[in-house]
């Protein structure tokens, strides 16, 4: 009986470890791939059982520090008439980057 309980506990610990590694690996994917993976994970498992927040803070921390220049990027304009890049805008005028939701 003790052996069965011990094997069950070892199995549960291994399952938890595999789920944690899988979650962290998913978080290291590009956002669209991460979303495609996470749509199959129940919220209860992701947020209550697994350490979602600590993994997220490490996986998505990036490597920028205060004072570092922003990395260059290019995005289509709102009307899709041209592509705007940070480097081209920064050469001609000051640029303010605001990250947030305005819905």
Evaluate whether residue 80 is within a structural domain.
no
Evaluate whether residue 39 is within a structural domain.
yes
**Which one has a higher pLDDT value, 52 or 91?**
52
pTM, two decimals, is 0.62
Q: In total, how many domains does the chain have?
A: 1
For residue 4, give Cα distances in angstroms to 10, 15, 16, 67. Answer: 10, 16, 18, 56
Q: What is the pLDDT of residue 39?
A: 93
Evaluate whether residue 51 is within a structural domain.
yes
Please tell me the distance from the alpha carbon of residue 35 to that of residue 84, in angstroms, as a whole number. 26
Evaluate whether residue 92 is within a structural domain.
no
Evaluate whether residue 31 is within a structural domain.
yes
What are the φ and ψ backbone dihedral angles of 34, each rounded to 5 degrees?
A: -60, -45
Q: What is the pLDDT of residues 52-80, one digit of tens each?
A: 999 999 988 878 888 888 888 898 988 99
Q: What is the pLDDT of residue 103?
A: 63
Evaluate whether residue 76 is within a structural domain.
no
> In this model, does residue 100 exceed pLDDT 90?
no
Q: Which domain holds residue 34?
A: 2-59
Please tell me the distance from the alpha carbon of residue 20 to that of residue 59, in angstroms, as a whole number. 12
Evaluate whether residue 55 is within a structural domain.
yes
Evaluate whether residue 83 is within a structural domain.
no
Q: What is the pLDDT of residue 11?
A: 96
Q: What is the pLDDT of residue 65?
A: 84
């Amino acid at each position: 009986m003790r052996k069965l309980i011990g094997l069950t506990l070892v199995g549960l610990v291994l399952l938890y470890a595999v789920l944690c590694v899988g979650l962290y690996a998913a978080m290291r994917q590009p956002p669209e791939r991460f979303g495609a993976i996470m749509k199959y994970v129940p919220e209860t498992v992701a947020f209550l059982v697994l350490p979602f927040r600590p993994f997220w803070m490490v996986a998505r921390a990036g490597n920028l520090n205060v004072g570092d220049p922003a990395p260059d990027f290019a995005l289509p304009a709102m009307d899709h008439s041209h592509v705007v890049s940070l480097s081209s805008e920064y050469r001609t005028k000051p640029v303010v980057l605001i990250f947030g939701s305005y819905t």
